[in-house]
Amino acid sequence: MDSPPNIVFVLADQLGARWLPIYGHPLVSTPHLERFATESAIFERAISTSPVCTPYRGCLLSGKYPSQTGVLDNGQAFPRGVKSLADHFNDDGYRTYYAGKWHLSGAPQENRWAPPDQRAGFQHFIGWESHHIDHYAGLIWSDDPDLAIEMPGHETDSLTDIAIGQLEVAAAADEPFFMLLSYQAPHPPCSPPAEFLEPYEKLDLVTEANADREAWFKHEAWRADYDAQRFRELYFGEISQLDAAFGRLLAAMDRLGLRDNTLVAFTSDHGEMAGAQGRFGKGVMYEEALRVPLILRAPGHQQGQRIDTPVSTIDLIPTLLDYAGCRLDESSEGLSLRPLMEGSAGLADRVVISEYHDFCASTRHWKLITRGRSLEPAAFYHVTDDPYELRNRVDDPDCADVQARLLQTLSSWRARLARNEPQNDSDSVIPTQPESDMAWQTINT
């Protein structure tokens, strides 16, 4: 590429990889995402560093773990003094744009203005702090706290119109740009238009081995009171509507001549249980909540590529800055995914760490979950052989060695963060001997 690429980063909210046909779901309709995936790198095992809204966003924009930034739960603000993703791009001559749900300016968590000093450095910002309960009555703000802009129709469609307007402005400028488009969809409560809802009302949607047909979703403040079947009808309808909106965004980029020099990323902050394990929502370390879509289309890169190396939120800043040719602080966490996208062999033994109320260490095949924020194992799953996590093998002697090694990796990670030390190459693989020996090898993970 002769010049730095533009970057368009599309962030869905509460969209689990489990619920997309790209990752194997047989019933959900997402033709635009599927077409986009044929032109992109699809990461098979992308793991949210924290499966809840605000901690994920703090991680995405800082490149640091929640334990490092202190953004550990919803309702917290992006920390002052932490260099953000937008700051990196600003320093290297990019124009930076943000559109949509923010959820990083602290309390109260509601549909309100996000003050300029809590926007993590974005130059052009139009958004709202948190949560439109009525998706047909959304409000959005730019630079005037007293001037709320009504979003006509469904917020997903209105936000797409706003983003396309931003793209038109950005495309007309001489500088490269970075744009983060943050949808609220398909975060419940869902209210998709009839054209996207009705196809699902004719199907049996509660079919997986770990699905609880009797699970009930009740949230009085959201006026939600229905079973898992109805929850999925609404949730899947919003996924299909989001897919159509994404298709419009891609078409606008083509019309504006942006396709050949723009990296496009599509991902989500975390997933949604949707009645799996009898649960709804997120914040747990089950696959439905933890595993997210991650699809990257980079100019000139190999198309239709599936990558099974485990990756996580913490890898996104290094990846985007790598493609943009921007400087990256040596203390940053994570790995650039660009070598994987350009054909390098993956790390067969890589471990990615997640944290919220529990800790979790995930590999290609295994996942260890602790009991709270301790190092006591609570669950251990072979997610390849047992994708619905029906067999907890935490007490199985046949896999005790692998579990112990994962626990040691998690322990070393936590100790390093407590010492405020930067990541090194050994942080992302499984040790075979005590840490002091610093001996490593690939095992069947």
187-227 confidence digits (pLDDT tens): 999 999 999 999 999 999 999 999 999 999 999 999 999 99
What is the average pLDDT value for the chain, to the nearest integer? 93
> Cα–Cα distances in Å, from 443 out to 22, 231, 336, 381?
28, 40, 23, 16
- Of 198, 296, 196, the closest CA to residue 239 belongs to 196
157-186 confidence digits (pLDDT tens): 999 999 999 999 999 998 999 999 999 999
> 440 falls in which pLDDT band (50, 70, 90)?
very low
> 117 falls in which pLDDT band (50, 70, 90)?
very high
1-44 confidence digits (pLDDT tens): 468 999 999 999 999 999 999 999 999 999 999 999 999 999 99
Give the sign of the dihedral formed by CA 253, CA 255, CA 256, CA 258: positive
Percent of the chain with pLDDT over 70: 95
Q: Average pLDDT in the 386-409 region?
A: 97
343-394 confidence digits (pLDDT tens): 887 777 899 999 999 999 999 999 999 999 999 999 999 999 999 999 999 9
Residue recorded with tokens 């989001």 = 242
Residue 367: helix, strand or coil by DSSP? strand
Residue 349: helix, strand or coil by DSSP? coil
What is the H or E stretch that residue 91 is in? helix 85-91
Strand ranges (DSSP E) for 294-389?
Answer: 294-297, 305-307, 311-312, 352-355, 359-362, 366-370, 377-382
**Which residues of the chain form CATH 3.40.720.10?**
6-341
Beta bridge partners of 289: none
Beta bridge partners of 125: 98
Pairwise CA distance, residues 3 & 236, whole Å: 39
Q: Is the pLDDT reported for residue 311 higher than 60?
A: yes
CATH H superfamily, domain 6-341: Alkaline Phosphatase, subunit A (3.40.720.10)
Q: Is the peptide bond before 188 cis (omega within 30 degrees of 0)?
A: no
Tell whether domain 352-437 is in CATH 3.20.19.10.
no
DSSP readout, 25-77? -SS---HHHHHHHTTSEEETTEE-SSSSHHHHHHHHHHSS-HHHH---STTPB
Ramachandran assignment for 148, one of left (phi > 0), alpha (psi -120 to 50 degrees), beta (any other): beta
pLDDT on residue 147: 94
Q: Are the CB atoms for 300 and 1 separated by under 8 Å?
A: yes
Q: Phi first, then psi: give them for residue 199, nearest 5 degrees.
A: -60, -30
> 443 falls in which pLDDT band (50, 70, 90)?
very low
Residue recorded with tokens 């499984």 = 430
Q: At what angle do helices 53-62 and 316-324 cross, to 10 degrees?
A: 40
pTM score, whole prediction: 0.95
> 83 falls in which pLDDT band (50, 70, 90)?
very high
Q: Is the pLDDT reported for residue 131 higher than 90?
A: no
Ramachandran assignment for 340, one of left (phi > 0), alpha (psi -120 to 50 degrees), beta (any other): alpha
Question: What residue type is assigned to position 345 of the chain?
Answer: A
pLDDT on residue 429: 59
pLDDT on residue 345: 78
Pairwise CA distance, residues 244 & 33, whole Å: 9
**Which residues of the chain form CATH 3.30.1120.10?**
352-437
What is the H or E stretch that residue 179 is in? strand 177-182
